[in-house]
Structure 1
């Protein structure tokens, strides 16, 4: 099923908005945060939709969570949430679902999820699923992220990326709701730890 067909199933009679979002996800400066990432997140959400109270809000949040993506900016999640708040009412999405969608988008800024937030847990799990990929797939993901930050000097990128990865490892759990959480957790922490080791300078032996 192509993305526009998926959008129509979620928000009927709003093709213009769906096309606008697909255009956002297709911007040439993106290397990882592309339509492939969107499709992958939606696939995880669909697979485990029966575990959450409002799977359509989670799907909408998947569509919007990186709709605004400027590697030079620090407020992409907030701007993406505001885009959802501005766009969804005109597409016929009820106010409560629009509010929940924007809340979920904002959550992806740090992926910290309350224990009883099942909608948030599924979105976070889906967004971070790439961390648990096979090592070669993970390495391609890491390379793509570096391409998105090509404007950042190497030393600054390494330090910033290490901070991001360290923050992820500091979370009590990377995955919270998917039935394969334990399996994903082990693979993801191994991948992230491996990348982190390449980013931090080694201390020369004396």
Structure 2
């Protein structure tokens, strides 16, 4: 059973014709050719980490479903991807899982817009920590992630992308905590902050030089 296969999906949303249709649509969305980082590989990585960290969640199934939908709509030209992804989750899951779980999935997907769950939000902590795990990778892996994100924003000039990316990095570095789960925060936070700070310094240097 692969992390993004139907069996994994059916464990959460059941095995019905409607469920199969929705799974296929979700996988197709994550497979769109314009995606370079926010693709099936990223989805599988987040699902895998949610599985590892899920014991800390209050509703692990809701967190896994939110992982499936957290970037199901991803258009670098728009600024409301999380909101539209949340709407897509509500429409796609209705009738497949209990309504209360649908609404929790919607809440969690919206949370990934800022990655700043409230204290005590165990579900939000698991999803956000899994989604931001890439920031704590080895420098070469982080560089690959940053390069893939730049490709997704190929419609922007270097100046436009640099300004927007600097804002994203500053937001992440200003969060009260990058990671909320004690099981990962101690190990991941220093590496993530080092990667983010290095990229930010590079982009600020480029912006200052006009390169």
Normalising TM by the smaller chain, what interval?
over 0.9
- Pairing partner for 1:83 from 77, 80, 88: 88
2:129 aligned partner: 125
TM value normalised by structure 2: 0.93
| 1:187, distance to aligned residue in structure 2 (A) | 0.3
- Pairing partner for 1:197 from 186, 198, 201: 201
**Rounded Cα–Cα distance in structure 1 between residues aligned with 2:168 and 2:54:** 28
**Structure 1 unaligned residues grouped into runs of 5+:** none
- Pairing partner for 2:33 from 7, 28, 34: 28
Q: Is the 8 A contact 1:44 1:126 kept in 2?
A: yes
1:135 aligned partner: 139
Count of residue correspondences: 203
Greater shift after overlay, 14-23 or 137-146?
A: 14-23
Q: CA RMSD in A?
A: 1.1
1:47 aligned partner: 52
| 1:16, distance to aligned residue in structure 2 (A) | 1.1
DSSP-derived class of the 1:82 partner: helix
Question: C-alpha deviations, 1:54-97, integer Å up to 9, x for none?
Answer: 0000000000000000000000000000011111113x210000
TM value normalised by structure 1: 0.96
**Rounded Cα–Cα distance in structure 2 between residues aligned with 1:165 and 1:6:** 33
**Rounded Cα–Cα distance in structure 1 between residues aligned with 2:91 and 2:66:** 14
DSSP-derived class of the 2:183 partner: coil
1:10 aligned partner: 12
